[in-house]
Structure 1
Amino acid sequence: MGGSTILFSFFLLCFPKLSISTNTLTKSQSLQTNQTLLSPNAIFELGFFSYTNSTWYLAIWYKTIHDTEKTVVWVANRDTPLQNSIGFLKIDDKGNLLIVNQSHKPVWSSNHSTPITNPVLELLDSGNLVLREENENDPTRFLWQSFDYPTDTLLPGMKLGWNFDTGMEKHITSWRVTNQDPSSGDFSFKLDCRGLPEIFLWNKDQIIYRSGPWNGDRFSGVPEMQPVTDSIKFTFYADQHQVYYTFSIGNNSLFSRLSVNSVGQLQRLTWIQSTQVWNKFWYAPKDQCDNYRECGAYGVCDTNASPVCQCITGFRPRNQPAWNLRDGSEGCVRKTGLSCGSDRFLHMQRVKLPDTTSVFVNRSMGLVECGDLCQRNCSCTAYANIEIRNGGSGCVMWVGELLDVRGYPSGGQDLYVRLAASDVGIEGDSGKTSDTIRDIGIVVGVAGFILLALGIFILWKKRKLQPILKGKTEKRGFSERSQDFLINEGVLSSDREQSGESNMDDLELPLFDFNTITMATNNFSEENKLGQGGFGSVYKGSLKEGQHIAVKRLSKTSGQGIEEFKNEVKLIVKLQHRNLVRLLGCSIQMDEKMLVYEYMENRSLDAILFDKAKKSSLDWQMRFNIICGIARGLLYLHQDSRFRIIHRDLKASNILLDKEMNPKISDFGMARIFGTDQIEANTMRIVGTYGYMSPEYAMDGIFSVKSDVFSFGVLVLEIVSGKKNRGFYLANKELNLLGHAWKLWIEGNAWELSDSSIDTLNSASEVQRCIQVGLLCVQERAEDRPTMSSVVLMLSSDTASMSQPKNPGFCLGTNPMETESSSSKQEESCTVNQVTVTMLDAR
């Protein structure tokens, strides 16, 4: 290293980051790594930053927002960082912006080709960094601007879309690791200008979310997108020269941005001055129906339906067995073939229009002309207005399958789908069902419901509501008769649950005949028995169609089993995630209550993990995949499902493994639903399993998402070590697994915790990371524990920043008579922070 470089390095170390007094940089100046530019009103700042002190980036961030970390909105050299703090930004002789390293070699350039005489670089209050001639202030004549090259964030005034004259495309791409690595990540949000333009969220080359086309007021698939006076105004513009989406803010005191993060979530964030935090105003994907093509061709996804996938009227599931198992990805097919001239159109309301990348578009046509044109074109499958304002205008026609349709209780727009005349029923031409016919239908429907309810009541009085379920598996919803039976048995409440979720009358779940289950399990034979718990027994079964199932037969005498049945039916029937076990149906006949699940070929995790002869079959990669899968399933329960669900009994025996060793969380009998704004709750009846309970739950009955995080942390340490938390170190009753892990951690020997039966030498950093995540999750104070979104991020990246764990909360002591279930009447002494209490079952 030369003497000048050493002196320069010394200068950087001795002097803190300095702000240049103006917001401009001229050709004769340079911006060093310890200097910044401020916008005129000090809203934004330009400078170099680093998270690791090993890679440095030129970036723009909010100056007026004092968050825990810089809110970076643009990065110049995101994929070509400086390798140390020695470097600078300058304007070269050709008018290009250059970032130069310690060897005076460029690592990044603006690469514009327009000649420039007196270049000036200026940071504007909009957050736009512009290069212009010294006396030129016309934005249309800027020679270069950062707004043309977004990174992960769209600011007010930025455009997302295409300029057809220059061929320039503008989109946003996630960081590799949020708040750690700004290099280009896997997720991008791009406008597709084919057909009727709309914006897609991509994971590499796979679409994961679609906005729907712009309908004049908002994107068809974003009903929440409502403009607010003097606040956020959304704009979509399209002509022969360009197509783009942008937004503006009328209130200068409001900060809002659109970004895509490193885990693939699109977020509208708004700064709340009073609380000094970024509020997630809107995000996507936010539920199952936001997943692209969730219900396949001609399927409609609706989160208020169960199952969420429904076929458009006139269509039936393409794969009925898969549809019965709540897998609608193969979509639907027509019930009746089309005959062109005699076809009619079904009027669908409040839907996100299907994928519009391959459609016919005419902006001058009205809806009637559009319908006539579609009627005459035998290839046309559906049509709609382009815009919905002022009664509607424009024509969009589909000539292929209708993909990615979603229904909404409000929002969306009208769609007219081509059907055979016999499938449209009472609907008239062009799908315009008359109000009179609709009203008559409503009256008839209500009258029919009343008569049906009266008939069910009489049947209940006469036969004591004995279910009549015949033959093999019969797919039926929770009819009024079945629901009355469940209420009569005390399984369901006739009132709404305190948590606010809807009653069971809006759920649909296949009912299995008792005889079908008996035959499938060989009359519940011992050789078909998979296991037993406080709720009853689980049996393997095989239906006539060859499908394997697992049947949970609730004990007739177990009150816990009744509660479990109620919870399981209410919760898991509405949940669909690859890391949650799938409930296929139930069987209710007199005092027999059974739940039917998908069969897991590799049983439960504890049956392998804690078996000396089998545990070696779980190599480290399998264990790590299991940890990550459980984390994703728990994140779905806590954040991404329709309800916020606290499992309350997460443990190794409730993690099931399929034939590919993918983990699935099971047993929702003790779970509780939280409101979206609810943080914690208190219970007078503590349920769960000792060894997995968080201190605040075991001692005070307080449970939250953080109590599930604690259980997850215990599970992580068990998977890494291959040892149970309870019963560990029986010879030394001062430590259980958590205590032992903590002792090794503070001694710097955490590596010793890993299971000696497997080879983890080549995955040392991954093992170390899992141990640290586990210890962070089992910290004594709930507020110190991370959320599951943070856990997933820490597990998914070896560069994610992690804090040092604090001492865990853990129970000491054992009882030789104890069982795993908290419903046993054994005593156990629990010590948390030197406070000892004794619990008898539940408090």
Structure 2
Amino acid sequence: MAKKRTTIQLNLTLCCCFLFIDFCFSIIGTQKTDTIFQGQEFRDWEHLNSDNKVFRLQFFSPGNTKNRYLGIFYNLPPDVTPNDYDKRPVWVANRDSPIPDASGNLMIDTDGKFMISYGEGQEFVFFIAPARSNVSSRLLDNGNLVFQELNNSDGSVKQILWQSFDQPTDTLLPGMKLGLNFKTGQRWLLTSWISDQVPASGSVTFGVDPTNQLMIWWRGSVVWNSGIWQNGHFDYMQNLATASDQYGDLNFSYVSDEEKKYFIYSASEGQILTRYTLDSSGIVNDSTGSPTFGACTPHPAFVPGCNMEILSPCRRADLDREGDLLFDQTQGFPYGDSIVLDKNNYSLFDCRVECRSKCSCVAYASISDNGTGCEIWSNLQFEMTDFKQSREIFVIRRKPGIIGSWVGVAVGFTIFTAFWCLCIVMLRRIRAEANLGNKMREKRLLYELQRAAAPAIYKRAKSRDEKIGHELQVFSLESIELATNSFSNRNKLGEGGFGSVYKGELLDGRAVATKRLARTSGQGFQEFKNEILLIAKLQHTNLVKLLGCCIEDEEKILVYDYMTNKSLDLFLFDPHRKELLKWTNRLNIIEGVAQGLLYLHKYSRLRVIHRDLKASNILLDDNMTPKISDFGMARIFGAQVSEENTNRIVGTYGYMSPEYALNGVVSEKTDVFSFGVLLLEIISGKKNHRSYDSERPLNLIGLAWEMWSEGRALELVDPILEDSSHSKNEVMRCIHVGLLCVQDQAKDRPSMSDVVSMLTNDNLHLPAPKQPAFFIGLVATQEPEKEQEIKDPNLKKCSIKHLSISEMEPR
């Protein structure tokens, strides 16, 4: 009897346990499996699936490496046979910060920090939430990992604080943007892996150019472009409008306005595995691994949009019939004369380009098993071996010797003949040009401008006016004289060192401003030519629009859109008109000029340093929108160049940075300094090159610095703004940014990207400014348009003969 009672009790206990376990699982089943909550850890061996299990989040190790990365993958349906691209992650969180072991945890700590923690206290932080926020992270069914703030009342989403779609790696998914945001400075780009085993950022990027076309860059140089977006497709990709992949239809669209430009696509409902992936050789492959964008190999000359690589003459003998330099892949143990480019960010594609560009190179290979680094040989010998030292080598395919010899002779004879022909042509040209007058030289300049500004054939207009390309127009002198009433004084808007500006009205009714270059101007042909060729290629809402030019009868004239409110200095330094500049107008002008400079420095097709930013070069339209003008002194920089030295220093006294005025060093920070001076002038309504102390020559920068140091910064504000409604925090932030921009050392000044963030993000912490440059003892007493001599006790002689200093009157 006792034994029977014990059996019954045991059975009851087991039933209770099973019921409790089932109850626990039912509760767990109601929790979201796609979400990580605050205080929860997602460990290395775990998976996080999206709601409908389309995507999963997990740690992984690519190839044979032991490094661990956090990535998002497609979940493959059972009936799909995966290819190599299906197995690749669509996003990698810590691509440039690998974890050396399996200690990684994705978590949101109690302070709202969204991060990966690993090792002994090491962290990789994505985002830090505002204090006392209710936050969580969720993997969505579109592959987007979001860090979101929740409402405390019902747990609904309050706002998205961070998302992986804003930090793309090498893959574009449906709904993901590819482009740029001018207002926030955000840029959505794909960046290749270095190799299949190393997800770190490679040398190839894929994105949208401000000219409304897709582009692929290799180390900053354009290697492919799609053509302009129009009529629902890009010029060189007309089949894009009806594109589809193996799983369904794709819909592509392009959004472009003043704030943003981006390319985006969507997939039909239920479609899976759709993606576009940028590989390390600059090709964008679709979800099947087939080339779609930028497929410029092997013969780029026959692919629209591809910029064919120009090889040196020494490589011509090795080209195949289609004009390509081919390599044979082999295995072996190499030895011989070689150069090792031991850079972690070198891919096999980078190594190939290096070899193509060097006449002595006969072969190349990676220096590691994971496909990174580069070694190139000028003299190669190798042994065929099966040992572990065996390497994969790419050897230039040589033509048979006799053919190569005849080709060499033919090339040499051609070069010799071409050289003598060139000499004869040049001698004739020199003799002819010696007899040309001013009029013929000006016609030659006009032809040069036409060819440089628009390589395409330009069409003659109905009148004597001509168009360069689609936008820039070459006006006849007759049409300019009719528009300005023969340069009547009644039409005169202003005058400066360059000449005079006149208001005009074209035959089609358009109001224009014509800048007539004076014969005695310090700005000559170079500045005139520079402005035409440069500004014609720049398009931004905060840059003045150049309509055309006129070169005839020794006249050099530029024609712009007419700005109703003329220039900023007309308002800013006039005791009566400055009343029209309310604080909101001044703040909009500050932010607009900052956006224009950011475009010039970072987003324009040409990386441009303005070098003469000042109040008289900021024009205002009907809505008081600022337009940066006068690009005659601008400097074009290469993509990889951060600063240059110039022997010809040009600009306006009071706006030039110290390193530029004294040493001729020009960089983006040159414009940043000028912007800081302009910002302080806009806030105070005072000119920088005036003295604001009776006992010492203290300029505006010095005045602002002293007031800031003494806690009286608000006293700098223009008294005319006392009765207007303005935020003290906004004013203080602007003064703070202005002082950061005029710091003595260029390295201490922020970039224009940072400046835009500082002006638009109230929550951004600003560093304390250091002592500014040129704030005492250098207040101008010279007349405008005179050559200035800048003396430095450390220099034996520092007379800058070509220094062009101008103080221009308003337009």
TM-score by length of 2: 0.54
Partner of 2:761: 797
2:676 and 2:741 in contact (8 A); partners too: yes
2:748 pairs, out of 784, 798, 812, with 784
Displacement, 1:199?
A: 4.0
Residues 285-684 of structure 1 aligned to structure 2 (within 5 Å): 285-290=208-213, 351-353=236-238, 356=241, 359=242, 361=244, 363=246, 408-409=305-306, 485-486=444-445, 508=469, 509-684=472-647
Residues 127-146 of structure 1 aligned to structure 2 (within 5 Å): none
Alignment of 1:72 with 2:125, yes or no, is yes
Paired residue secondary structure (2:547): strand
Amino acid across the alignment from 1:515: E
Displacement, 1:570?
A: 1.8
Structure 1 residues 724 and 182: CA distance shift in structure 2, 3 A? farther
Paired residue secondary structure (2:502): strand
Task: Write the distance in 2 (CA, Å) between the matches of 1:46 and 1:286.
Answer: 35
Displacement, 1:522?
A: 0.7
Structure 1 residues 813 and 24: CA distance shift in structure 2, 3 A? same
Residues 671-750 of structure 1 aligned to structure 2 (within 5 Å): 671-729=634-692, 731-750=694-713
2:179 and 2:187 in contact (8 A); partners too: no
Task: Write the distance in 2 (CA, Å) between the matches of 1:691 and 1:732.
Answer: 20
Residues 805-824 of structure 1 aligned to structure 2 (within 5 Å): 805-810=769-774, 812-813=776-777, 818-820=782-784, 823-824=785-786
Task: Write the distance in 1 (CA, Å) between the matches of 2:488 and 2:749.
Answer: 45
Displacement, 1:686?
A: 1.5
Task: Write the distance in 2 (CA, Å) between the matches of 1:751 and 1:768.
Answer: 7
Displacement, 1:409?
A: 2.9
Task: Write the distance in 1 (CA, Å) between the matches of 2:782 and 2:478.
Answer: 37
1:825 pairs, out of 765, 784, 787, with 787
Task: Write the distance in 1 (CA, Å) between the matches of 2:204 and 2:290.
Answer: 30
Paired residue secondary structure (1:170): coil
Structure 1 residues 362 and 730: CA distance shift in structure 2, 3 A? closer
Residues 28-39 of structure 1 aligned to structure 2 (within 5 Å): none
Alignment of 1:83 with 2:132, yes or no, is yes
Displacement, 1:169?
A: 3.1
Structure 1 residues 719 and 21: CA distance shift in structure 2, 3 A? closer
Partner of 1:60: 115
Paired residue secondary structure (1:681): strand
The C-alpha deviation readout for 1:464-500, integer Å capped at 9, x for no partner, is 6999xxxxxxxxxxxxx99961079xx8799x9xxxx
Displacement, 1:610?
A: 0.6
2:505 and 2:511 in contact (8 A); partners too: yes
Task: Write the distance in 1 (CA, Å) between the matches of 2:43 and 2:191.
Answer: 38
Displacement, 1:747?
A: 1.1
Amino acid across the alignment from 1:780: D
Amino acid across the alignment from 1:789: S
1:209 and 1:284 in contact (8 A); partners too: no
Task: Write the distance in 2 (CA, Å) between the matches of 1:360 and 1:683.
Answer: 50
The C-alpha deviation readout for 1:748-781, integer Å capped at 9, x for no partner, is 1111111110146541111111001000000000
1:794 and 1:800 in contact (8 A); partners too: yes
Q: Quote the sequence identity (%).
A: 40
Partner of 1:200: 177
Displacement, 1:733?
A: 2.9
Task: Write the distance in 2 (CA, Å) between the matches of 1:609 and 1:280.
Answer: 46
Structure 1 residues 63 and 729: CA distance shift in structure 2, 3 A? farther
Structure 1 residues 713 and 520: CA distance shift in structure 2, 3 A? same
Displacement, 1:682?
A: 1.2
680-689 vs 754-763, greater mean Cα deviation:
754-763
Paired residue secondary structure (1:594): strand
Displacement, 1:793?
A: 0.6
Paired residue secondary structure (1:600): coil
Task: Write the distance in 1 (CA, Å) between the matches of 2:787 and 2:634.
Answer: 22
1:351 and 1:407 in contact (8 A); partners too: yes
Task: Write the distance in 2 (CA, Å) between the matches of 1:200 and 1:408.
Answer: 22
2:44 and 2:104 in contact (8 A); partners too: no
Displacement, 1:285?
A: 3.8
2:101 pairs, out of 22, 41, 44, with 41
Paired residue secondary structure (2:575): coil
Task: Write the distance in 2 (CA, Å) between the matches of 1:24 and 1:387.
Answer: 30
Amino acid across the alignment from 2:490: E
Partner of 2:32: none
Structure 1 residues 519 and 669: CA distance shift in structure 2, 3 A? same
Partner of 1:169: 142
2:564 and 2:621 in contact (8 A); partners too: yes
Paired residue secondary structure (2:177): strand
Amino acid across the alignment from 1:802: L
1:756 pairs, out of 705, 719, 723, with 719
Displacement, 1:527?
A: 1.2
What is the RMSD computed on CA atoms of the aligned residues? 5.5
Residues 210-359 of structure 1 aligned to structure 2 (within 5 Å): 230-231=195-196, 250-251=197-198, 254-255=199-200, 270=201, 282=205, 284-290=207-213, 351-353=236-238, 356=241, 359=242
Structure 1 residues 712 and 528: CA distance shift in structure 2, 3 A? same
Alignment of 1:773 with 2:750, yes or no, is no
1:773 and 1:791 in contact (8 A); partners too: yes
Displacement, 1:654?
A: 0.5
- Asked which structure has the greater CA Rg, the reply is 2
Give the count of matched residue pairs.
523
1:775 and 1:805 in contact (8 A); partners too: yes
1:638 and 1:646 in contact (8 A); partners too: yes
Structure 1 residues 763 and 280: CA distance shift in structure 2, 3 A? farther
Structure 1 residues 664 and 751: CA distance shift in structure 2, 3 A? same
Task: Write the distance in 2 (CA, Å) between the matches of 1:724 and 1:174.
Answer: 47
1:679 and 1:704 in contact (8 A); partners too: yes
Structure 1 residues 787 and 599: CA distance shift in structure 2, 3 A? same
Residues 180-195 of structure 1 aligned to structure 2 (within 5 Å): 184=161
2:497 and 2:522 in contact (8 A); partners too: no
Task: Write the distance in 2 (CA, Å) between the matches of 1:65 and 1:631.
Answer: 43
Task: Write the distance in 1 (CA, Å) between the matches of 2:617 and 2:120.
Answer: 44
Structure 1 residues 108 and 647: CA distance shift in structure 2, 3 A? closer
The C-alpha deviation readout for 1:630-669, integer Å capped at 9, x for no partner, is 0011011111111211111110110111111110111011
The C-alpha deviation readout for 1:87-137, integer Å capped at 9, x for no partner, is xxxxxxxxxxxxxxxxxxxx4568xxxxxxxxxxxxxxxxxxxxxxxxxxx
Structure 1 residues 585 and 71: CA distance shift in structure 2, 3 A? farther
Task: Write the distance in 1 (CA, Å) between the matches of 2:491 and 2:530.
Answer: 26
2:179 and 2:209 in contact (8 A); partners too: no
Task: Write the distance in 1 (CA, Å) between the matches of 2:482 and 2:677.
Answer: 40
Structure 1 residues 72 and 537: CA distance shift in structure 2, 3 A? same
Structure 1: any 5+ residue segments left out of the alignment? 1-17, 26-36, 51-55, 85-106, 111-145, 150-167, 212-221, 232-249, 256-269, 271-278, 293-302, 311-328, 334-347, 366-385, 394-405, 412-452, 468-480
Structure 1 residues 556 and 392: CA distance shift in structure 2, 3 A? closer
